[in-house]
Structure 1
Amino acid sequence: MKIVLLDGYDLNQDLNWETLKSLGDFEVYSRTSVDNDTEILQRIDDAEVVITHKTPLDESVISRASQLKYIGIMGTGYDVVDIDSANNHNIIVTNVPTYATDAVAQFTFSLLLEITGQVGLHNQLVHDGKWSSVDDFTFWDKPLFELKSKTLGLIGYGRIAQKVAELANAFSMKVIFYNHRPSVAPQKWVNQVSLDELFQKADIISLHVVQTPETINLINKTTISKMKDGVILINTARGKLISENDIAEALNNEKVYALATDVVQKEPIEKDNPLLKAKNCFITPHIAWAPLETRERLLRITVDNLNAYLSGEAQNVIS
């Protein structure tokens, strides 16, 4: 059985592939062009198993990969694979839904705390000598905010959002959430609301939904207009959930106080992305998922998924 991993670089800078090598004829590529179907097909042409992290597998690729029986997505989001096409060709697709829950929730709060506490800015100012030059024992160059009693609105209420809710409760925040289907909040301090109500009430909005045709550009000029003036937005989900031109305009006219995002629509970020010049915009390079512990877990569950498939009892199947 031939196993091909299309994009191992982001994962294996400090890991190894011995567990995958033990399962078959294993071939790993550091990178595969996301825009070159010919290259993708050449690499997976005789493979029964393909593992991908961010390399897209669309209808044109899946329909021509004659030996392909299994696609393992090394991640939670599955927008990189045409699931309908895979189903039509009787190809099993699995993902890793829970490997980074704690890490992404932690990073979500890291972004929020950076906005409200301005640690990075003031650390740099101190090192630049500003504290040494002031007359008082203290100074601040940007407003600082207390989270207590602020309302956090979570769009989506899966595992990561629920973990973020727990962290928010520890900071004595009020927590509301919107979910596309009714959910029963396990804690009395969390309330489910409509999307419009969330936009109207939330001081901080954090995105935790998957990318689908319905959620692309969910945050746009119209939905932004429904939000409180001075709202803070956090995005550790997918870049395409936000219209970048619309949010840049809202940042520049101060309708939105700040955006902190770990993701953008086109990654790596392009030099002309409007967010790069927008006011009060914090951008990190898609690293919320990347602590060593989470990547070790990701690899382990990817191997477990493949072993389950080989034993005839596939798990974490996307349909």
Structure 2
Amino acid sequence: MNIVALDCFTVNPGDLSWDEISQLGNLTIYNRSTPEEVVERAKDAEMILINKINVSRELIAQLPKLKYVGEMATGYNNIDLEACTERGITVCNIPAYSTDSVAQMVFALLLNVATKPNCYAEETRQGKWSEKQDFCYWNTPLMELSSKTLGIVGLGNIGYKVAEIAHAFGMDVNAFTSKNSSELPDNIRKTTLEGLLATSDVISLHCPLNASTDKMINKETLAMMHAGTILINTGRGGLIDEDAVADALESGQLKAYCADVMTQEPPTPNNRLMKEPHAYITPHIAWATFEARQRLMAIAIENIRKFIEGTPQNVVNKS
């Protein structure tokens, strides 16, 4: 099998091994590939491994030997599944590898707003505490999470883990989910999106990006929230209307916007959210702990092995 990894530097910048995959076929690794380079590099490939490469119908038509697309991530909206299925190409993803890491980031972002440890550590380093007359100081009131309401939009593996951590902090949890109420534990209350937006102190987005969720957080839905809501997005940048969120930050409708994802990645320097003092944005790293990437590679190896054996797993375009 000719296996070509086209853009896997972010998954494995050199601290993990490709050896097990190379034992399964003739492996060629490219850290990054421009759209212009993809066809030439993958023209003889039977299997390609991708992270953000756009696998379009047009690209598929130019790769006559292709049998397998390995998405080195959970989301696969960069792949034309219909075109792959028509060609008999199997598409596999990597589910559930980053659940703990992403949930951890949700609360790192939330605590950064609630108690501002980074801000006060930096001010202490600058000598501001030393200048005070009292044994302690703060610029604005700090926030306790206990008894606050967390609204989770999308209750998959990550959403459940976020709920578990929230309960440990003493938070109440509401969820907007396609699951039936009978499927949920007693300490998670199913609600409508409108109800969740109106009653939550903190809202965390964990749903996939599709036609029904594109810009689901917009001027109208932001207006349904109570003033001072904290919005967290570790799902997909396109779930929000970035200009509407910037407006909500400036008006005080949102206390803070915490995000690990943007509509365009990397964002342009003139993106409004990059200039908002109450927007806390990290560079799409929630998934990328060493442990999560180890799990990702292990699942990718097993996906390839199972496909070669004729019993593919984690297939997302089952016919």
Report if TM-score (shorter chain) is over 0.5: yes
2:3 and 2:105 map into 1 onto residues whose CA distance is 33
Q: Structure 2-normalised TM-score?
A: 0.97
Report the counterpart of residue 44 of structure 2 in structure 1.
46
**How far did 1:18 drift?**
0.6
In 1, are the aligned partners of 2:8 and 2:49 still within 8 Å (CA)?
no
The AA in structure 2 aligned to 1:236 is T
Structure 1 residues 200-215: aligned runs within 5 Å: 200-215=198-213
Cα shift readout 1:99-127 (whole Å, capped 9, x = no counterpart): 01111111111111111010110000000
Report the counterpart of residue 306 of structure 1 in structure 2.
304
The AA in structure 1 aligned to 2:54 is P
Cα shift readout 1:33-89 (whole Å, capped 9, x = no counterpart): 2xx2x3211111110100101111111111221111100111111112111221122
Structure 1 residues 235-250: aligned runs within 5 Å: 235-250=233-248
2:11 and 2:140 map into 1 onto residues whose CA distance is 37
Structure 1 residues 98-177: aligned runs within 5 Å: 98-177=96-175
Residue 15, structure 1, aligned to residue 9, structure 2: no
Report the counterpart of residue 84 of structure 2 in structure 1.
86
2:181 and 2:158 map into 1 onto residues whose CA distance is 15
Report the counterpart of residue 277 of structure 1 in structure 2.
275
The AA in structure 2 aligned to 1:316 is N
Report the counterpart of residue 27 of structure 2 in structure 1.
26
Q: Percent identity?
A: 40
Report the counterpart of residue 69 of structure 2 in structure 1.
71
The AA in structure 2 aligned to 1:159 is N
Q: Secondary structure at the match of 2:110?
A: helix
Q: Structure 1-normalised TM-score?
A: 0.97
**How far did 1:182 drift?**
3.0
In 2, are the aligned partners of 1:185 and 1:192 still within 8 Å (CA)?
no
**How far did 1:305 drift?**
0.6
The AA in structure 2 aligned to 1:30 is N
Instruction: Let me know the Cα RMSD of the aligned residues.
Output: 1.1
Cα shift readout 1:111-161 (whole Å, capped 9, x = no counterpart): 111110101100000000000001001111233100111110000000100
Q: Relative to structure 1, is the Cα distance of residues 121 and 185 closer, same or farther in structure 2, using a 3 angstrom cutoff?
A: farther
**How far did 1:181 drift?**
4.6
Size of the aligned set, in residue pairs, is: 316
Of stretches 81-90 and 228-237 in structure 1, the one that deviates more from structure 2 is: 81-90
